[in-house]
Structure formats: structure tokens, C-alpha cells
A and B are shown apart, each in its own frame.
Chain A
């Protein structure tokens, strides 16, 4: 294979040898250090040699009493000679090589592997801040510095490496595993109430109970003491621990104006498609919507054979026209909207509680509807507080 390659680049000729003693010619040429190959003795005596050597051996042929005739030329020099009048081809080949060289100086594909909590978009944005993006000039990309900067800026990244292979950057990330929270179960502490309420159930695992089931407590009140005493051993400090389920009350209010203005899609939309090549977007069309306000939904698909994202993408954009609208709310609609808000509040803000009862009151004044909701809940109000720590409440 290598030999074929060398022969192609140096150029070779096949020639016939006519004369009385072709073997003599072979010996003379070989003796002069000229290499011959594919020496055939058929109807014609033929052989191959490098093009440059052929010019040297013509006088030797005369001396050996043979006549040479070239039958075929192979290789790059003969191709060059064949196309020497076609300057366009030469310019095209040079332009191609130049383009390949210039394009290889840029980053055209970035892949991120190993992320768990961090999103790819987030990592790509961070990389862009640090100078690595599709289309970045490769000599200006310092892979080690980028990895260091990103590890310093984001504590979630435990280890990271940027590997540049040609125009492809592979970013490997190992995220930091946070150490588990270790509870200090030996330190003496009391159990206090986090909220006002009425104790329904009290299970003290350690410590001296200070309240009883059914008694009302206020926030910060001592529920289970970490000081235990007995006549035999005297007083000692323990890590008090308890489950204190209490009935508590949460209040929240939600408002909505009785006259709403907003924007919504009016049903008109247009679809635009474009191709993205090396970061350059080439649109197929310029479809748009008549409305001044619009929202664009973009979908981008890049081929990624063998997990390598290519610098090509098909981009589809959907433009939805928006219109302003005004709406007056009646009491029923406003209540429905506010109840939806209260359900969201219940789901997210009261996720640790069990809501046993809720009462609502809707009022309308000052151009807005207000819904006041009172939740009756059951929740654990126990909180461990180290002994010697005073909270103002």
C-alpha cells in the first residue's frame, strides 16, 4: 500500500523493450541503481520504473542495443501534465485545500457527557462564557484554563476535562456528590414548637415531656426537655427527640383584578424552516405573521452519528401571532381562578402538612377580588434546639 502510494506520487512509466538482449539492458539499469518492477516477458518484453529514472536510462538503452517505447504513464506527475491547461481545476483544488485548512482551525462540534443535575444548555452557556462555542477559533481555546474556570465557578462540577480532537470538542464532566447530612444525635437538645397549635399526638423518644396531648402550644414553647433527672443519678442532659403532631392554622389570601388584560394566540401562525451550517443559518423562506406581537417556538435537530454532533442542523420555527384581550371577571369566574391559585399554594407551600379543613371567604373591593383561605392542618411541629440556644420569638 505504502509502495503504491510512493509510486503514485513519484510517477511511473510502463515501457516495452525491443532488441536482441533485453536481459543485458535489465542488468545495466539495475547496476546503475535503477529499480524495475513488473518485468514481463510475453509477446512484448515490458517493465515499469519511476518516471524520473526513465529519462536517465535512455542513453543506456542505446548502449545495450535495445529500443524503448513508453506504453503507459501512471501517477501524480502524469495527472498534473494531463490537466496542466485546466487552471480552474488547480485553483479549485487549491481553494478546497485552503478551505479545509481554514475550517479545521475552528470548533464545529461540542458534546457534553457525564452531566446529571446540570443541563446541557447550562453547560454550553458556561462554556461560551469561557470562550468555547461552535465557531470558536481553535488556537484561542485553552482547554485546561476553561476546565479550571468552570470547576471554580460551579461547585457542582467535581471534575471536568475539555478534549479537543480536530474541530470536535468533547466535554467530560463528573458532578460533585454532596456529603450526606449527619445528624448529631449525641449533642444535648430540647424539642420546641415551630408553630402555634394544639397537640394531638405526642411520641417522645428521648427526654422529659413538658406538654400533654390536647394542650395548646405557641411557637418556641418547650415540648420535650433534654434535661432528665432521677433521685438515684441526679440530673443529666440528653438529646431529646419526639414526634409532635399538632393541629395548626394557616391563612393565605389570593387576589385577582376584576378587569383582566393580557395576550393570547389569535390562531394565526407561520412556519419557517432553515438550515444551519457551521453556525450560519440559511433560511428557506421568510414567512411571518401580520400581528406585531408574536412568539416563536424553535426546534433544532442536529445529526449525531456515533454520539458526535455534526455542525449541521435543520431548524424549524413556528411563529404564533398574539393579540391583546380584555376581560371582565364575574364573581364565579374570579372564585374559580382564585381557588386554582389556592390549590397550587396548598400543593407547594403546605406540602408537609395534612389539610383537614379549609374555609374560604371571597370579597370584592378596590377593583379586585380577594379570596381569604384558612387551612386547618395536622403537622409535625417538633424542632430540635440545642440546649443553651435561645431564640427570640
Chain B
């Protein structure tokens, strides 16, 4: 994972992309809907907790009645009653 992170950062530097642009893009609508672009996979999924792997960080979404509304290769949408977001590097 660490090697991959370094590779991504090197890639971003090579193309002169600011580090923030190579990071996942997270869009939160109130506390009812969350869009994550740049996801690398779902690590854990239950109605109370969803953990999503992204480039370099793992996003933990906690709440009630959580659902994966849509999942594609690089993005996913979570809806439900979101109570907290946590980021693990």
C-alpha cells in the first residue's frame, strides 16, 4: 500500500498535479448522502458501518440504515443517516 501511495504521489508530481487532485473527492449532502470518487473498494459493509478504501486513506462512514445506493469502478454513493466520518491513513 505504501509503495502504491508513493507511486501515486510520484505520478502526481510528474504530471504537475497538485496532491489534492490525486486524493479522493468526497461530496456530502447534509448527513443523508455521501459520494466518494476515487474509491478502490469496499472493505466492510453493514447498515451501521461502511469502510471504503481510497488512494492512501480508508474512509469510515458510521450511521444508521446505511445503503450502498450505487457502486462503480471508481465511485460509490452511500445513503442513510450518517452520524460520523473518519479517515484512517
Q: What's the Cα separation between A42 and B48 when bound, in Å? A: 11
Residues of A within 8 A of B73 (CB): 30-31, 33
B-binding segment of A20-28, A67-75, A327-335, A356-364 = A20-28
Report B8-49 CB contacts with A as 1/0, cut-off 8 Å. Answer: 000000000000000000000000000000000111111100
Q: What's the Cα separation between A33 and B71 when bound, in Å? A: 10
Q: Is B69 interfacial (CB-CB < 8 Å)?
A: yes
User: Once the chains bind, are B43 and A40 in contact (CB under 8 Å)?
Assistant: no
**Contact partner of A38 among B41, B42, B69, B72, CB < 8 A?**
B69
Of residues 49 through 78 on chain B, the ones whose CB sits less than 8 Å from some CB of chain A are 66-73, 76
Closest to A25 in B: B42
User: Once the chains bind, are A35 and B71 in contact (CB under 8 Å)?
Assistant: yes
- Closest chain-A Cβ to B29's Cβ sits at a distance in Å of 17
Q: What's the Cα separation between A33 and B72 when bound, in Å? A: 7
What is the size, in residues, of chain A's interface with B at 8 Å between Cβ atoms? 16
Secondary structure call for the A interface: mixed
Q: Is A36 interfacial (CB-CB < 8 Å)?
A: yes
User: Once the chains bind, are A23 and B42 in contact (CB under 8 Å)?
Assistant: yes
Residues of B within 8 A of A36 (CB): 68, 70-72
**Contact partner of A42 among B42, B44, B47, B72, CB < 8 A?**
B47
Question: Looking at chain B, what size class is its interface with the partner chain?
Answer: 10 to 19
Closest to B40 in A: A27
Q: What's the Cα separation between A38 and B72 when bound, in Å? A: 12
Of residues 28 through 49 on chain A, the ones whose CB sits less than 8 Å from some CB of chain B are 30-31, 33, 35-42, 47
User: Once the chains bind, are B41 and A37 in contact (CB under 8 Å)?
Assistant: no
- Closest chain-B Cβ to A368's Cβ sits at a distance in Å of 99
User: Once the chains bind, are A37 and B71 in contact (CB under 8 Å)?
Assistant: yes
Residues of A within 8 A of B67 (CB): 38-41
User: Once the chains bind, are A39 and B45 in contact (CB under 8 Å)?
Assistant: yes
Contacts A41-B46, A41-B47, A42-B47 given; indicate if A31 touches B70 (C-beta within 8 A): no
- Closest chain-B Cβ to A151's Cβ sits at a distance in Å of 59
Residues of B within 8 A of A23 (CB): 41-45
- Closest chain-A Cβ to B71's Cβ sits at a distance in Å of 5
Residues of A within 8 A of B70 (CB): 35-38
- Closest chain-A Cβ to B39's Cβ sits at a distance in Å of 8
**Contact partner of A27 among B42, B46, B47, CB < 8 A?**
B42
Residues of B within 8 A of A37 (CB): 69-71
Q: Mark B residues whose CB is within 8 Å of A.
A: 41-47, 66-73, 76
